[in-house]
């Protein structure tokens, strides 16, 4: 009977051990599920933040493109103003030469130089839509 009692005691303790293992496994599973839920929440938050950052990057890209376009237009305007300034300076020189010839004070200016200047040969370079000089305007009308 002592053996039966010992065997019964061992079976009971074995059952108790199995029950403890089962409870531990249950706790481990619950902890893993809680950790998974927490990580899923963090992942959702990170995705929302990434979406915001991407939208912000798109907005900055649009602003950058606009600023680049504005800079390009400003460069074209500056080139046109420089060209206009050069043309105005040449007209001013032409006016001075004509005034000198008219007054007879400057005899070193030949009629040929005045004729070339008046015909437009010495005009400023033509500027394209990008503000780049492309050639010289020549007046071919007689």
pLDDT (tens digit per residue) in 55-101: 999 999 999 999 999 999 999 999 998 888 888 888 888 888 888 88
pLDDT of residue 117: 55
In sign, the C-alpha dihedral spanning 83, 89, 90, 95 is positive
- Tell me the pLDDT tens digit for each residue of 26-48: 999 999 999 999 999 999 999 99
- Token representation of residue 138: 């020549």
User: pLDDT confidence of 121, banded at 50, 70, 90?
Assistant: low
What token pair was written down for 29? 């599973």
Q: How far is CA 9 from CA 13, 19, 22, 44, 82, in A?
A: 6, 15, 20, 52, 107
Angle at 103 between CA 99 and CA 109, to 5 degrees: 65
Q: What pTM, to 2 d.p., does this model score?
A: 0.45
Tokens read off for 21:
């293992």
């Amino acid at each position: 009977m002592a053996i039966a009692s010992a065997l019964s005691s061992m079976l009971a303790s074995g059952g108790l051990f199995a029950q403890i293992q089962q409870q531990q496994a249950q706790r481990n599973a619950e902890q893993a599920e809680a950790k998974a839920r927490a990580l899923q929440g963090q992942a959702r938050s990170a995705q929302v933040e990434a979406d915001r950052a991407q939208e912000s990057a798109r907005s900055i890209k649009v602003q950058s493109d606009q600023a680049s376009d504005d800079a390009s237009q400003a460069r074209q305007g500056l080139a046109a103003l420089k060209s206009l300034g050069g043309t105005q300076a040449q007209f001013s020189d032409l006016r001075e030469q004509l005034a000198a010839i008219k007054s007879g004070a400057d005899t070193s200016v030949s009629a040929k130089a005045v004729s070339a200047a008046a015909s437009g040969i010495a005009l400023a370079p033509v500027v394209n839509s990008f503000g780049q000089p492309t050639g010289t305007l020549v007046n071919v009308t007689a």
